[in-house]
Amino acid sequence: MIFLTLACSNEPNALNAIPHSSNPADLAVPTDSPEEPKVAPDLPSVNESEARVLTAASTRALPFRDKFVAVRPRERAGQRMTNRVEYQKHWAVCEILGRHERESDYCFVFEVHDDVVILDSAEEPSRAEFCQVKTRTAKKGEWTVTRLLKADDDEIDENESGLSILGKLFDNRQRFPDETIALTIVSNAPFKLDLRESVDPELDTIPASALSDDVRRKILQHLQDAFGSGIAEADLESFRFQHCTLSLKDAPRHTMGVLQDFLARRFAGRHLPVAAIYRTLISEINQRTAREQVPASFFELRRDHAISREEVERHLRDMSRSSDPTQDLEEIKRRLEQAGWSWRRVGAFKTAWRDYLIERTDPEHPLAQATRDWVAPVVERTLTENPDMDPAAIVDAVTAALAGVPGRPLSLRQEYCDAVILFEAAEFLGSAEVPAPNPPTTEEAA
The residue among 318, 347, 366 that closes a domain is 318
Q: Are both 90 and 181 inside the same structural domain?
A: yes
In a domain, 8, yes or no: yes
Three-state SS for 155? strand
Q: Is the pLDDT of residue 219 over 90?
A: yes
Whether residue 229 lies inside any domain: the answer is yes
Determine the Cα–Cα distance for residues 263 and 204; give it in Å rounded to an integer: 24
128 and 212 fall within a common domain: yes
- Residue 443 domain-assigned (yes or no): no
Nearest CA to 312 out of 344, 337, 288 is that of 288
Q: What is the pLDDT at residue 267?
A: 86
On the question of pLDDT at 122 being above 50, the answer is: yes
**For range 30-59, the mean pLDDT:** 45
State how far the Cα of 350 lies from the Cα of 335, in Å rounded to an integer: 13
Which pLDDT does position 363 carry in this prediction? 61
> Do both 342 and 301 map to the same domain?
no
Are 269 and 123 in a shared domain? yes
Q: Do residue 255 and residue 334 come from a single domain? A: no
In a domain, 156, yes or no: yes
- CB–CB of 254/274 below 8 Å? no
Q: Does residue 22 fall inside a structural domain?
A: no
- 148 shares its domain with 273: yes
Q: Which residues pair with 114 in a beta bridge?
A: 112
Q: How far apart are CA 367 and CA 438, in angstroms?
A: 34
Q: Give yes or no: residues 331 and 212 share one domain.
A: no
Instruction: List CB contacts of 35: < 8 A, sequence separation 6 or more.
Output: 299
In a domain, 299, yes or no: yes
Q: Which domain holds residue 39?
A: 31-318
Q: Full-prediction pTM beyond 0.75?
A: no
Provide the 3-class DSSP secondary structure of residue 4.
helix
φ, ψ for residue 297, nearest 5 deg: -150, 165
376, 304: one domain: no
CA-atom Rg of the chain in angstroms: 25
Q: pLDDT at residue 85 above 80?
A: yes
Same domain, yes or no: 334 and 417: yes
Mean pLDDT along residues 338-349 = 95
Percent of the chain with pLDDT over 70: 77
Helices 366-385, 414-429: axis angle to 10 degrees equals 50
In angstroms, the CA 242 to CA 220 distance is: 20
Higher model confidence: residue 256 or residue 23?
Answer: 256
Is 42 within a domain?
Answer: yes
Do 142 and 242 belong together in one domain?
Answer: yes
Q: What is the pLDDT of residue 325?
A: 76
Pick the last residue of a domain from 283, 318, 353: 318
Q: How confident is the model at residue 413 (pLDDT cuts 50, 70, 90)?
A: very high
- Average pLDDT of every residue of the chain: 81
> Higher model confidence: residue 201 or residue 180?
180
Question: How many residues are present in the chain?
Answer: 446
Does residue 39 form part of some domain?
yes
Q: Answer with the one of 278, 293, 318 that is the final residue of a domain.
A: 318
Please, which pLDDT band fits residue 437 given cuts at 50, 70 and 90? very low
> How many domains would you assign to the chain?
2
Check whether residue 143 and residue 125 sit in a common domain.
yes
As a whole number of angstroms, the distance between CA 222 and CA 165 comes to 11
Q: Region 46-58: what's the mean pLDDT?
A: 47
Whether 289 and 398 share a structural domain? no
